[in-house]
Structure 1
Amino acid sequence: MALGERVGHVFRGAAIGVAEAVPGISGGTIALVTGVYERVIASAGHVVSAVRYAASDLPRGRGWTRTGHQLRQVHWSVVIPLLIGMLPGLLIAAKTLEPLLTGYPEQTRGLFLGLVLASVLVPISMVGAPWRRAEVLALVAAAVAAFALTGLPQASLTPHPLIVLVAAAVAVCALVMPGVSGSFLLLTVGLYEPTITAVNDRDFGYLAVFATGMVIGLALFVKLLQWLLEQHRRMTLAVMSGALLGSLRALWPWQSEERDLHAPGDNLLPILGLFLVGVAVVTAMVVAERRRLRRAARDLTEETYETTSAR
C-alpha cells in the first residue's frame, strides 16, 4: 500500500474518532462513507476469532496455528493507520466539540444534520437496484425504530462501574453500526458528560472500566455483524440505511431539552448554511473515495494487462 493511502487512512481514523465523540453521528457512518467499513468489520472479526482460538488452543498445547491464520487475515495496513488517527481525533473532539454543543447547539446540530443526511446515500447506493419489497420494509422498520430511540428523554444514572461497563458494551456497537451513535446512547442514559470528563481529565479508572465494556461489546457483536454482511449483505445495508434516516431526528436543530421537535425558528440562515456545508463535505468525501477506487481499479487492470503481455 502506498504511503499516501496510509496517510489517508490516518485522516479517516481521525474523522471516525471525532464522530465517536459527537452525539448523533456514528463512527461507523464515517467508516462507510470513506470506504473502509467492510475491511474494518472483517478485520475486527478475525481479531475476535484469534483471541478465541488463543484462549482455547494454547492451554491445550495446540500452538498458534489457528490464531496466526486469523491474524494474517487482518487488514493491518488499514487498521493500524486508522487507530493512529482515531485517538487524537477523539481527544481533540472531546476538548473542542463539547463546548460547541453546549454553547451553539442549534448551529452544531445543523452542521451534523447535513453530514449525516448526505451519508445516507452511501449504504443506499451499496444495496444496488432494484430494491426488493422486504428490503424497503426493513429500511422503514429500522428508520421508525431509530426515530423512536432518538426521541427518548435523557436519563440520569450514577456512573457506577457496572453501569459504565454495560453502557460501554452497548455503545461500542455504534462504532461498527452506521446510523447508531454511541455518544448519543451515552447521552440518553446520562453518561455522556461523565465519559467526556473522564477523557479530558485522564480518569484512567473510569476509562479502564469503559474500555473493558467496549471489548465485551465488540466480542459479542462484531462476529454477528460480519456474518450478516457476508450472508445477508443487501438486507443489512438496507437496515443500516433506515437507521441512518431515523437517527436524523436527534440532529434536528430546533428541539427542546426533552427532545420535542419544534418548527424552524431563530438563526435559520446560519443553520441552513452550516447544513449545506455538512452536505458538501460528505459529498466531497464520497466523490474523492469513488475516484480513488476507480483509479485503483484502473491501475490494477493495467498491471494485470502488462503482466499478461510480458508472458
Structure 2
Amino acid sequence: MPAPRAASFRPAVDVLRGSLIGVVEVIPGVSGGTVALIVGVYSTLIASASHVVRGALALTDVLRGRGPARAMEHFRAVTWRIVVPVLIGMVVAVIAGARILAPLVAENPVETRAFFAGLIAASLLVPIGMVGRAWSWRLVLVAALAAAASFVLSGLPAGQVADPPLVLVALAAAVAICALVFPGVSGSFLLLVFGLYETTLAAVNDRNLPYLLAFAIGAVVGLGSFVGLLRMLLDKHPAVTLAVATGLMAGSLRALWPWQDSTGSALPPGDDLWGVIALTAIGAAVVLALVAMQYRLADGRSPR
C-alpha cells in the first residue's frame, strides 16, 4: 500500500519540486540547479533535456527523407511524467516569484539572504554525498579551485541596463540558462552581473513579449549548446563534475552574506545577529527536510 500511495502523490510532489526550482531562479545567488539536485530531479532533468535537444536535432532527418524514427526515439526517452509537472511548477513559480518574492527580497535583504545561505550551505551535503568514497585530495583541490572561481564571480560589481538591445538579452539568457542545469551557479546572479536582473523581472511582470521572446530564444540556444556537454561530463566524469559543483556552491555563499551595502560589499554583523542565525538554521532545516522527502520517495536510495 505505501508504494502506490506515494506514486499517486508523485505528480503533485513534482509540481512542488518545480516550484522550488522556479522560486530560487528569481533570487540572485541561489542556483536552480542546486535545488534540482537537492529535491532529487537533477539527473532526470539533465537526461531528459539532452534527449529533447538530440531529438530536435534529429528532426533534420525528415528533411533528408530518412523519416522521424531517430527523433521519436529520443523524445520517447524523455521522462515526461516527471518533466511536465516540474516545468509547470517552475513556470508558475517564476511568474509568482517575480511579483511576490522579488519585492520581499528587496525589502528584507538581510533576512532573505540569511535564509538562502542556510539552504545552500546545507545543500553541500548532496553533491558531497553523491561523490562518496571517490573523494581524494585531487577532487578536493578541484572543488577548492571551483570555489575560488565562484567566490570571485560572486564579488563582481553589478550594474543595470534599463533598455537593453534584444540581441544582448538573448546572449545574456544563453549564458544565464546554463546555471539552471549546473549546480552552484545562479542564473539570476549572472543577470544581475550583466545588468539585466531588474529589467528581466519587469519584463515578466509587464508581459513584455518582445523581451521575453528574445530571452526564450537565447535560453533555448544556450541550453541546447550546454546540456549535451554537461550530460557527457556527468556520464564520463561524474566525480570531477560533482566536485566542481560542490566548489561552485560553496563559493557562491559569498553572494549570500547577510550584511551587505548597496554595492554588494560585505559589512560586519549587525544587531540582528541571532535572528539571522535562526533564519540560516531554518533554511538548512528546509534542505534537510527536502532531502529526507527525496529518500522516502526513492525508498531509501540516494537522490537521482
Give the TM bin, normalised by the shorter chain: over 0.9
Give the Å deviation of 1:207: 0.3
User: Distance in 2 between the 1:152 and 1:168 partners?
Assistant: 18
Residues 263-278 of structure 1 correspond to what in structure 2 (within 5 A)? 263-278=268-283
User: Distance in 2 between the 1:160 and 1:106 partners?
Assistant: 33
Unpaired runs of at least 5, structure 1: 298-311
Give the Å deviation of 1:11: 0.6
Structure 2 partner of 1:188: 193
Secondary structure of 2:299's aligned partner: helix
User: Is 1:218–2:223 an aligned residue pair?
Assistant: yes
Structure 2 partner of 1:28: 33
Structure 2 partner of 1:62: 66
Deviations 1:237-285 (A, max 9, x none): 0000000000000000012222221221132122111111101111111
Residues 107-256 of structure 1 correspond to what in structure 2 (within 5 A)? 107-157=111-161, 158-256=163-261
Do 2:295 and 2:301's aligned partners in 1 also have CA atoms closer than 8 Å?
no
User: Distance in 1 between the 2:301 and 2:152 partners?
Assistant: 41
Give the Å deviation of 1:60: 0.8
User: Distance in 1 between the 2:262 and 2:175 partners?
Assistant: 23
RMSD (CA atoms): 1.4
Secondary structure of 1:129's aligned partner: helix
Give the Å deviation of 1:294: 2.2
More deviation, 253-262/131-140: 253-262
For residue 137 of structure 1, what is the amino acid of its counterpart? L
User: Distance in 1 between the 2:273 and 2:286 partners?
Assistant: 20
Structure 2 partner of 1:305: none
User: Is 1:99–2:103 an aligned residue pair?
Assistant: yes
Do 2:51 and 2:77's aligned partners in 1 also have CA atoms closer than 8 Å?
yes
More deviation, 173-182/156-165: 156-165
Structure 1 partner of 2:288: 283
For residue 241 of structure 2, what is the amino acid of its counterpart? T
Give the Å deviation of 1:19: 1.0
User: Distance in 2 between the 1:130 and 1:29 partners?
Assistant: 20
Give the Å deviation of 1:196: 0.3
User: Is 1:81–2:63 an aligned residue pair?
Assistant: no
Do 2:160 and 2:198's aligned partners in 1 also have CA atoms closer than 8 Å?
no
For residue 155 of structure 1, what is the amino acid of its counterpart? G
More deviation, 258-267/86-95: 258-267
User: Distance in 2 between the 1:88 and 1:286 partners?
Assistant: 23
For residue 140 of structure 2, what is the amino acid of its counterpart? V
Structure 2 partner of 1:301: none
User: Distance in 2 between the 1:220 and 1:296 partners?
Assistant: 31
Structure 1 partner of 2:76: 72
Secondary structure of 1:128's aligned partner: helix
For residue 151 of structure 2, what is the amino acid of its counterpart? F
Secondary structure of 2:100's aligned partner: helix
User: Distance in 2 between the 1:80 and 1:207 partners?
Assistant: 21
For residue 18 of structure 1, what is the amino acid of its counterpart? V
Percent identity for Structure 1 against Structure 2: 49
Structure 2 partner of 1:300: none
TM-score (structure 1 length as normaliser)? 0.92
Deviations 1:60-96 (A, max 9, x none): 1110110011111111111011011111111111111
Do 2:146 and 2:248's aligned partners in 1 also have CA atoms closer than 8 Å?
yes
Q: How many residues align?
A: 296
Structure 2 partner of 1:308: none
More deviation, 269-278/238-247: 269-278
Give the Å deviation of 1:144: 0.2
TM superposition outliers: structure 1 runs of 4+ over 4 Å: none
Deviations 1:193-223 (A, max 9, x none): 0100010111111100000000010011000
User: Distance in 2 between the 1:53 and 1:291 partners?
Assistant: 38
User: Distance in 2 between the 1:288 and 1:8 partners?
Assistant: 10
